[in-house]
Amino acid sequence: MHQLLKCYDVIMLNRFLEFFIVGLALGVLEDLIAITLATEKAIDLRVFVIAFFVAFPFAVFSELIVDHDRFKRFMGRLFKRKSSS
């Protein structure tokens, strides 16, 4: 039983890291596109680092809160109530 829980924890950690890394990469890319379109500034290391630090908290929030099963159940119950009213 202990090995099953340990295996499940590794799978969940891998899933978390996979989606976190993809979310972070897409967030940085989105920020870089917005910076380029809004300011016409060339992308250099400083701009990349700023985009990274802006995208990081949103990636963390997305993975820890929004993608959590309890949040999905909560939102499902919330929208069921509103649609039945």
Provide mean pLDDT across the span 58-81: 76
Cβ atoms 67, 48 nearer than 8 A: no
Query: What are the b/e assignments for 65-80, b being 16+ CB within 10 Å?
Result: eeeeeeeeeeeeeeee
- Total tally of structural domains belonging to the chain: 1
| Model pLDDT, residue 51 | 93
What is the per-residue pLDDT across 6-64, written as a single tens digit (0 to 9) for each? 777 777 778 778 888 988 999 999 999 999 999 988 899 999 999 999 999 988 888 77
Instruction: Give backbone dihedrals phi and psi of 43, rounded to 5 degrees, phi first.
Output: -80, 120
Q: Which domain holds residue 75?
A: 2-84
pTM of the model: 0.68
The candidate with the shortest Cα–Cα distance to 16, out of 6, 8, 4, is 8
* Gap between the Cα atoms of 16 and 8, Å rounded: 12
